[in-house]
Structures are given as structure tokens and as C-alpha cells.
Structure 1
Amino acid sequence: MYQDDYKRWKETDLIDFDLNKELNDIEGDDEAIKDRFAVALQFGTAGLRGTLGAGTNRMNIWVVRQATQGVADWVKTQGGTQTVAISYDSRLKGWNFAREAAGVLAANGINVRIYDELMPVPALSFATRYYNCNAGIMVTASHNPAKYNGYKAYGPDGCQMTDDAAAVVYDSIQKTDVLTGAKYMSFAEGVEKGLIKFVGDDCKEALYEAIESRQVRPGLCKTAGLKLVYSPLNGTGLVPVTRVLKDMGITDITIVPEQEYPNGYFTTCSYPNPEIFAALEKGLELAKEVGADLMLATDPDADRVGIAMKCPDGSYELVTGNEMGALLLDYICAGRIEKGTMPEKPVAVMSLVSTPLADAIAENYGVELRHVLTGFKWIGDQIAQLEAAGEVDRFIFGFEESYGYLAGPYVRDKDAVIGSMLICEMAAYYRSIGSSIKQRLEEIYAKYGRYYNKTD
């Protein structure tokens, strides 16, 4: 069966020269053919993710078209605006896949709002909500190595797709022939017919306004003199993160030069995951060189942020996702109480596998801390429940141990842009009172006790 599929693909004009070359290169290699064609990538609540290449078990324009036809079939049953938002990160073929998805949607009579530049996960979630879309598509493989790409699908609330919706999409994909089943028109034709439009500056500015409105102590950073080293890890973070930090008054920002601009090959960091030391190594070297107070790194789709903090002895220490979640919860609670901006009956949300230290902190500040299943969509679901009850302003913070943070209801996925903003504001605040993040963490341990944390 897989040999028949291989032959069919080989005899088809696949448009992408790389695919035809790959199929020619593996001719006669049964294992290589089997690996590419014996199974297909399976669409789930997290969409698709796989190695770039030819075949049904790889990420390529044909698999993207097939998946998008499944999304289109689902959207057409939903009514509403019949609109889908699309974004993409710096990964190889990301823009190609985004355009292919737009072409399939347009051919199905569905309106598309696509970013004209690579933008992170929170920007996609925001645009989905801003334009009242039926769905959103983010072309990304998050922090995986360079040979991967992926396709995340979002519901109309800006949350990753629910189990029920994903099952309907998957069923439709199963009925769609990968090479001939998807409707398609060129990107240019879709633009000409008015079906494909770019995300407007109004949407982009509204996102920045929403993020910056969540500052705990506005104006503080303008006089704190915080010195920062930042790495976008060759992903989408450079523009949005530096824009927000400069808007809030942080001007002493040194970017890791080798990791500044988008580069899907990730040549200086083979695994661009801010949870691991290797991803922060270049930034740490630069931080030591310039004497930075803080070093930040965001992953390629800028939904997670890792940090290294400067210690009193001049050394740098990595901060885990659990530690940073606890620090931010403490900072937001204390700051909002001080400023009189804490809502009545405040709610924070964290994943079940995150640190119980957060429970002790929340109890101290009178915050209801809700525990949800692993996956940020469940934090988004809690925000949606508050919104449905007319109480969305009660939500103050959500986090998971894998370096994902959110401090507002404007999006429904983790956001490294607001995470970076609040981490820097927190560092600036402690610096302004003669303290530091490290010192505050020790104070938290002294007050609530030390909690053992282990993550795989």
C-alpha cells in the first residue's frame, strides 16, 4: 500500500521541488518509503507536527492543504463570520504553509486574515478574537529542532481547538484525498477576490495596548535603569518583545546577535527550547560580558520565556518555570493590592503539575487558585467560564511549569510577550528598592517553605 502511495506521489507534480527530489533520492529504499507513507500525521487538539519532507507522514504543502480542507469543512458548519486568522513563525517553509492554508480557505469561500510578517502565538490568538473569527491557524512547531514544522488550530475563542472540534476536523481530513481532495486557489487570486486580507495595523496596535495595560506598576521601568540581554532564539519574539519593553521604558536592551533575526535553521541552538541551558548559553555569555541584571529568551513562536537572573555574587542562575510562576503570582498580587487594582474575588489558574508553592502564595493574598489539566487551553477555558459569567476581570494570572504565563483575558494561550514584560517590570521593581529577583525568591521560601520540584 505505501509503495503504491509513493509511486503516486512520485508521478505527481508536487510543485515544491524539494519534495520531488526527496522522492527520487529514496527510490528503492523500502524503509525510507515506509517511514514516509505507511502512516499519516494525525490531527489532534494540538493540530499537526512532524518532520519536513515528502509523504503523508511528513509536513509539506499537500498535508497542509488536506488539514486545512478539514478545518474549512468544520468552519462552514459554524455560521458566523466565516473567517479564519493565520500566522506563522520563523520555521522553514512557514510562510509557504501559511499561504497554502489561505488558498484552501479562500477556495472554500472562507475569508482569511493573515499576518504580513511572522508573528507569535499570542498574536494569532488575539487576531482570532479581534476579527471574531471562526478559527485560527498557527504554523509552528514551537521549540522543536529545525527539521520540524507544525500546524496548530484554534477555536473562535482564541483557545486551541477542543477535543470535539478536532475530532470533526480529523474525520473530514480522513475523507479528503491528500493530493486531490482539497479545494485550492492561488494566494494572489484570493487577494484579488477580496477573500484574503492582511491583518491590519489596528489589530496589531490593539494587541500591544492590551499587553501594556497589564503592567502592575506603570512607569516604574523608566527610572529603574534595568540592564537586559534578550534572545528571540531566531524566532518571532524580536519585534513584539522589544516593542513592549521599550514602550514601558526599558531601553538598555542588548540582543544576542547570532540569534536576533528569524532563521529557521536555528544554527546556534539546535533545540530552541528556553527550558534548557543550551538555549540560553549564548545569552548567558553575553549577559556576563555586559553585566546584565537579567537574561531573557523566548522560543520561536514566542509563547514561552526562560530567564537567567543575576545573583548578588555576580553569577547567573536559571529560574525554572515553577519558580517564575510563583514569583510572578506573588509580584502581581502584592503590586495590585498596593496599587488598588486587585479585583474582588481574584482568580489565578495553574496546571495540576505545577508547584504547590503557588497555593500557599494565593492563600496568603486571598486569591482563588484553580487547578486544571496540563495544556494551556484548560487555563483558557477557565477564563472563558469567567467571561461567560460576566466576571472575566477576576482573572489575574495563569501559568504552567513549562514556562508559559498569561496575565490577562485578551488572548487564550500562553504569551511570552507579556511574560517578558512582567518579568522585566518585576526585576526593575526589586532593583529600585535595593533587592533582586533572587532575594525575593529566598524571601518567598523563608515565608512559605521550600517545595521540591522535578520536571521531565
Structure 2
Amino acid sequence: MKIRKEYERWLANAVEDTDVVAELKAMDYAEVEDAFYRDLAFGTGGLRGVIGAGTNRMNIYTVSKASQGLADYLKKHFEEPSVTIGYDSRIKSDVFAKVAAGVFAANGVRVSIWPVLMPVPTVSFATRYLHTSAGVMVTASHNPGKYNGYKVYGADGCQITTEAAAEILAEIKKLDIFADIKTSDFEADMANGSIRYIPDEVYTAFVEKVKSQSVLFGENVNKNVAIVYSPLNGTGLKPVTRTLQEMGYTNITVIKEQEQPDGHFPTCPYPNPEIKEAMALGMEYARKCNADLLLATDPDCDRVGIAVKNKAGEYELLTGNQTGMLLLDYICSQRIKHGKMPADPVMIKTIVTMDMGEQIAAHYGLRTVNVLTGFKFIGEQIGKLEQLGKADSYVFGFEESYGYLTGSYVRDKDGVDGAYMICEMFSYYATQGISLLDRLDELYKTYGYCLNTLHSYEFDGSAGFARMQSIMQAFRGGIKEFGGKKVVRLLDYVQGLDGLPKSDVLKFLLEDNCFLVVRPSGTEPKLKIYISVSAENKEMAEEVEDEIAKTAEKWIC
């Protein structure tokens, strides 16, 4: 009854967006239930959901309500509140960004907005550079094209903390989505100065910071690398190619079908460089161009996927773990060689990221900080170092989902930085006749072979949400082994653990230095299982991983 009443209220009041009006009128019973059974969840990652009509969807009304709640929060915490806004290439991203700007301006919150679509890290950077009270990025990152989202950053340029998210959510919950939202006209606000475009000098400052991450320290390398690059119809084209070209990497072929912004992602419905299918067109281009290196960034340009040639001349995709370990090893070895390693150096990674990263860090004298899944927690740790006056101690941070950051100039993963540093690393080794796969094999010989995999299971709608909760409870039921590997210890983060925030995450430590992590995704209706296996070689690791995965699936299917 409650769902039906809310639906009818939307029919009467949600009349500004013709797409929403048409969708509301066409809904059947099941569609009404899925669109209205809950409010779109707001947390440390902000909002993310399917674009459409309803309280459980991304639309101008849910975006306005979130913006009003954020504006009320900012007015309580800042005398002169301000916000930086950016948006990506997704459907309605520009619309949502302008709607949010109008709400902020109507509430007396000064707005600085990027005049064109830009990558996620530029919002973190501009928030810090312009000293605004908060930042908002309209994006759904690497999700399929039907999604959009609303990420919120604090004044430090990091995604909001659990405490801040709870306060903002409390403000949002006070509001009626139609009666309590202040709005104003974007163009009128531009004219009166309450909204202004971010000047080009900020973009240039961002690019210069990325360029300054080089660890060559004067060494000469061959930069005539044949690079094939895809922005996957997102925001990466201009910043990535500008950075590479200004640093001497000019032999770049951009994938034509994926060059221009397009929120429908016509050649890769799931525009995620973690997914083989998203890289397929790039692999074709690489073969045609006889490229040395294939790079792809996701639509909001905070993740990077790569492929390189193996000894057989075939292109091989590297995982986020493999690329992250290579970057960590390269950066550390260069800093040690040139006497540039800071005092008390720190590497930060997530608990689902390959543990070999910690071994590499220890080899170079770095202290490792492990955090929950999500780069916001890495950004939070960089902020803590900054508060102690030790921001320079931060050397590298990465997560298995293809996110990397080599400096403290932003507080989120940066695909522009990742793409540039991967090119530099590739050139450095190529100049010595070493491939990235050769170097990876050397790391495995030094630290032992390790295989990490990710398995995702989709559970749509309200029934799927309940099913995921039930599965998580089943995994808490005293499981003794996975694939013949005994459970040595179970780490349950639901009440907080090792000083980390509460999170619905389980990590099973298995014998023989293996582990399994299970958690619901924070951005999609999916349950994710991460498996890490240490073994003598790849073949043995794959056999063990397969057995562990089969046991895990029995608790899901």
C-alpha cells in the first residue's frame, strides 16, 4: 500500500522530466515495486542506481533531494559553504550536474563546475585546489550504461567518511522529495555569479601534477612506444593523450569507435577494463597496429586496463593485481636507486588485493596499510598521513579493481596518472630489452606464484537484495573448508575489525597462504567473491582456485 501511494504521488508531482512522466505511466505492478520499494541508498560512495523513475532510481528528483541534504549539511558545518561539481559521459550526467548546481545555488552554496565532462580525479583535485567545502561527481564509473551515480567528496578531496555520510543521510531523510527542495535556474545563477565555471588553469595544474609523478629522475628511456588507447567512450581522451604527448609519448592510436563520449557505450555495453569483452576491440586494434601497449580507461577515467605482447606475439591482458604489483616494484626500485624514498614510506592496499603487494613493499622497506574495499579508504589513509605532516610518506596505493595512485595530489584513484605511469614503466623496461611479462615472471620467482580471481553473481530487485543478505548469513554458518583447503581463521568485518569501519565483508584465511573474501557490491546488485591462491606454478594455482570456487558456489546457487 505504501509503495502504491508513493507511486501515485510521483504521478501527480514528477512532471518536469518527460522521460520520468512517460516511464511512470507505462509501469506494471512489478516495475512499480522495484522502482519504489526503497529509497536509493546513500553512503560513503554517494548514490548509484539505474536511471529512471522512482525513489530507487537516478533521476532529477533523487539527485535534487541528495543535493538539498548535502547543502543543509554544508550550511551547518561551513560559514561560507561551496562545492565543486564534475560529470562524465553517461546519459543525463550533464543534466544531473546542472540540477545539483541549481539546488546548491538556491541554498546559498557557491558552485564551481567543470565546463565540460572531466575524469573523477579532477573533481578531487579541484576541490582541494579551489578550497571548496565539498565536491560532487556525477558518474557511475564502470557500470553498464543504464546506471548513473552521484559521488560526494569532503573538503580534503577524499570521498566522504562513514560519519559524514551518516550525517548527510540524516539530512536527506528529513526532506520530502517534492515539497522541501529549493531550486534555481542554472543560466540565471551563472549570470549572477553564484555558479561559475572552473578556469582552465585548474585543469593545467592537474595535468602538471600527474606529469610530476615520474620516477625516472633524469634517466633517458625510449618513448617511441606504439600505444593503442581507448577512453571507452568516456572522459579520458583529452587528459590522457595530453599528458602522454607532453611527456614525449606521441605514437598513440586512439580507438575510433570508442574515442568520443557516448553514454550508450555502443561497442562495450559493460565499459569496465576489468572485463575481457570491454578490451576486445582494443585487442583488435593492437593486432592491426602491431602495438607495443594497449591502454583503456573506464568512462570516468579512474581505472586502467592494459595488454602487452607475450613471447608468442599474442596480446595478453594483465589483471589489476599484476599491474599494481609491477607499478609498486618499479616505483620503489627507482626511488631506492635515486635516493628518493621518503622516511617511513607507506603503501596502501585493500584487503581483497593480492598479498604479494605486501611482500614487495616489505622488500623495499615500506610499511603496508590494509583497508576495506574501495579507494575512498586509501584516500582516507593518505589524509591521515597529511594530518600528521607525513603526506610525502605515501608512495603508492592500489586495488585489484584496476585503480592506482602514485601521489597525494588527489584522494581517489586516477586513471590519467595510472596510464602515464604504466607507459613510463613500459618504456623503462623496454629500453633494457625487458617486457612487463618478463618482469612479472621475475616477481613470481622472487615471491612465489600467486593467482587472484574475482567471481560476481547478480541478484536484481528487492528479492535479489534479500537473497544476498541470506547468502551472507549462510557464509557466517561455520564453514570448515573450501576446495579441500581448511579455514584457518574467519575475519568478519560486520562489527568493525583491526580499526576498520563496520562493513558486510567476510575474509576466510585458508591453509597454504590462500584466502577467500565474500561481500555484496556497494555499487551494483551483485555478490562478489575474491579468491587468492599461492602455489608452485600457474597450472597448480588454477586447479586449486577452481576447487575453492566450486565449494563457494554451493553456498550461492
TM range (shorter): over 0.9
How far has the Cα of 1:131 moved from its partner?
1.1
Equivalent residues of 2:221, 2:428 under 8 A apart = no
Q: What aligned pairs does 1:112-123 form with structure 2 within 5 A after superposition?
A: 112-123=111-122
Structure 2: 5+ residue stretches without partners: 456-557
Partner of 2:15 in structure 1?
14
How far apart in 2 are the matches of 1:449 and 1:4?
Answer: 60
Structure 1: 5+ residue stretches without partners: none
Deviation track 1:217-251 (CA, whole Å, cap 9, x = no partner) reads 16768733111011100011111111111111100
Partner of 2:4 in structure 1?
3
Q: Structure 1 residues 98, 437: closer, same or farther in 2, change over 3 A?
A: same
How far has the Cα of 1:371 moved from its partner?
1.4
Question: Does the alignment pair 1:378 with 2:377?
Answer: yes
How far apart in 2 are the matches of 1:13 and 1:45?
Answer: 27
Q: What aligned pairs does 1:246-395 form with structure 2 within 5 A after superposition?
A: 246-395=245-394
Equivalent residues of 2:14, 2:20 under 8 A apart = no
How far apart in 2 are the matches of 1:446 and 1:74?
Answer: 53
How far apart in 2 are the matches of 1:280 and 1:68?
Answer: 35
Question: Does the alignment pair 1:181 with 2:180?
Answer: yes
Equivalent residues of 1:218, 1:248 under 8 A apart = no
Equivalent residues of 1:10, 1:20 under 8 A apart = yes
Q: How many residue pairs get matched?
A: 454
Partner of 2:524 in structure 1?
none
How far has the Cα of 1:336 moved from its partner?
1.6
Q: Structure 1 residues 154, 435: closer, same or farther in 2, change over 3 A?
A: same
How far has the Cα of 1:5 moved from its partner?
2.2
Partner of 2:471 in structure 1?
none
Equivalent residues of 2:344, 2:366 under 8 A apart = yes
How far has the Cα of 1:424 moved from its partner?
0.6
Give the counterpart letter for 2:13 in structure 1.
T
With normalisation by structure 2, the TM-score equals 0.80
Greater displacement, 150-159 / 214-223: 214-223
How far apart in 1 are the matches of 2:79 and 2:245?
Answer: 38
Give the counterpart letter for 1:8 in structure 2.
R
Partner of 2:46 in structure 1?
47
How far has the Cα of 1:311 moved from its partner?
1.5
How far apart in 2 are the matches of 1:115 and 1:216?
Answer: 30
How far apart in 2 are the matches of 1:78 and 1:23?
Answer: 38
How far has the Cα of 1:34 moved from its partner?
2.0
Q: Structure 1 residues 252, 39: closer, same or farther in 2, change over 3 A?
A: same
How far apart in 2 are the matches of 1:229 and 1:190?
Answer: 42
Q: Structure 1 residues 194, 38: closer, same or farther in 2, change over 3 A?
A: same
Equivalent residues of 1:221, 1:249 under 8 A apart = no
Equivalent residues of 1:143, 1:271 under 8 A apart = yes
How far apart in 1 are the matches of 2:262 and 2:406?
Answer: 29
Partner of 2:518 in structure 1?
none
Question: What secondary structure is seen at the aligned counterpart in 1 of 2:295?
Answer: strand
Question: Larger RCO: Structure 1 or Structure 2 (Cα < 8 Å, ≥ 6 residues apart)?
Answer: 1
Equivalent residues of 1:222, 1:249 under 8 A apart = no
Question: Does the alignment pair 1:230 with 2:229?
Answer: yes
Equivalent residues of 1:90, 1:118 under 8 A apart = yes
Question: What secondary structure is seen at the aligned counterpart in 1 of 2:13?
Answer: coil
How far apart in 1 are the matches of 2:32 and 2:210?
Answer: 47
With normalisation by structure 1, the TM-score equals 0.97
How far apart in 2 are the matches of 1:224 and 1:37?
Answer: 54
Give the counterpart letter for 1:7 in structure 2.
E
Q: CA RMSD in A?
A: 1.4
How far has the Cα of 1:132 moved from its partner?
1.1
How far apart in 1 are the matches of 2:182 and 2:375?
Answer: 32
Deviation track 1:175-198 (CA, whole Å, cap 9, x = no partner) reads 111122111101012112211011
Equivalent residues of 1:86, 1:98 under 8 A apart = yes
Equivalent residues of 2:221, 2:427 under 8 A apart = no
Give the counterpart letter for 2:397 in structure 1.
G
Partner of 1:166 in structure 2?
165
Give the counterpart letter for 1:293 in structure 2.
D
Question: What secondary structure is seen at the aligned counterpart in 2 of 1:251?
Answer: coil
Equivalent residues of 2:222, 2:428 under 8 A apart = no
Equivalent residues of 2:295, 2:306 under 8 A apart = yes
How far apart in 2 are the matches of 1:205 and 1:441?
Answer: 34
Equivalent residues of 1:64, 1:101 under 8 A apart = yes
Question: What secondary structure is seen at the aligned counterpart in 2 of 1:454?
Answer: strand
Greater displacement, 103-112 / 149-158: 149-158
Question: What secondary structure is seen at the aligned counterpart in 2 of 1:455?
Answer: strand
How far has the Cα of 1:454 moved from its partner?
2.4
Identity %: 51
Give the counterpart letter for 2:300 in structure 1.
D
Deviation track 1:317-376 (CA, whole Å, cap 9, x = no partner) reads 111111111100000011122233222221111111111111221122111122122211
Question: What secondary structure is seen at the aligned counterpart in 1 of 2:398?
Answer: strand
Partner of 2:514 in structure 1?
none
Greater displacement, 57-66 / 440-449: 440-449
Deviation track 1:162-184 (CA, whole Å, cap 9, x = no partner) reads 11111111111111111221111
Question: What secondary structure is seen at the aligned counterpart in 1 of 2:404?
Answer: strand
How far apart in 1 are the matches of 2:139 and 2:252?
Answer: 27
Partner of 1:150 in structure 2?
149
Question: Does the alignment pair 1:417 with 2:420?
Answer: no
Q: Structure 1 residues 75, 12: closer, same or farther in 2, change over 3 A?
A: same
Q: Structure 1 residues 187, 219: closer, same or farther in 2, change over 3 A?
A: farther
Greater displacement, 405-414 / 445-454: 445-454
Question: Does the alignment pair 1:66 with 2:65?
Answer: yes
How far apart in 1 are the matches of 2:203 and 2:377?
Answer: 26
How far apart in 2 are the matches of 1:220 and 1:57?
Answer: 53
Greater displacement, 433-442 / 363-372: 363-372
Q: What aligned pairs does 1:399-410 form with structure 2 within 5 A after superposition?
A: 399-410=398-409
How far apart in 1 are the matches of 2:170 and 2:342?
Answer: 43
Greater displacement, 141-150 / 220-229: 220-229
How far apart in 2 are the matches of 1:221 and 1:283?
Answer: 29
How far apart in 1 are the matches of 2:79 and 2:249?
Answer: 42
How far has the Cα of 1:313 moved from its partner?
2.2
Question: What secondary structure is seen at the aligned counterpart in 1 of 2:257?
Answer: helix
How far apart in 2 are the matches of 1:454 and 1:21?
Answer: 42
Partner of 1:101 in structure 2?
100
Question: What secondary structure is seen at the aligned counterpart in 2 of 1:451?
Answer: strand
How far apart in 2 are the matches of 1:373 and 1:12?
Answer: 40
Equivalent residues of 1:81, 1:132 under 8 A apart = no
How far apart in 1 are the matches of 2:354 and 2:43?
Answer: 28
Question: What secondary structure is seen at the aligned counterpart in 1 of 2:105?
Answer: helix
Equivalent residues of 1:229, 1:253 under 8 A apart = yes
Equivalent residues of 1:219, 1:249 under 8 A apart = no
How far apart in 2 are the matches of 1:132 and 1:226?
Answer: 38
Higher strand share: 2
Equivalent residues of 1:50, 1:57 under 8 A apart = yes
How far has the Cα of 1:36 moved from its partner?
1.8
How far apart in 2 are the matches of 1:380 and 1:405?
Answer: 11
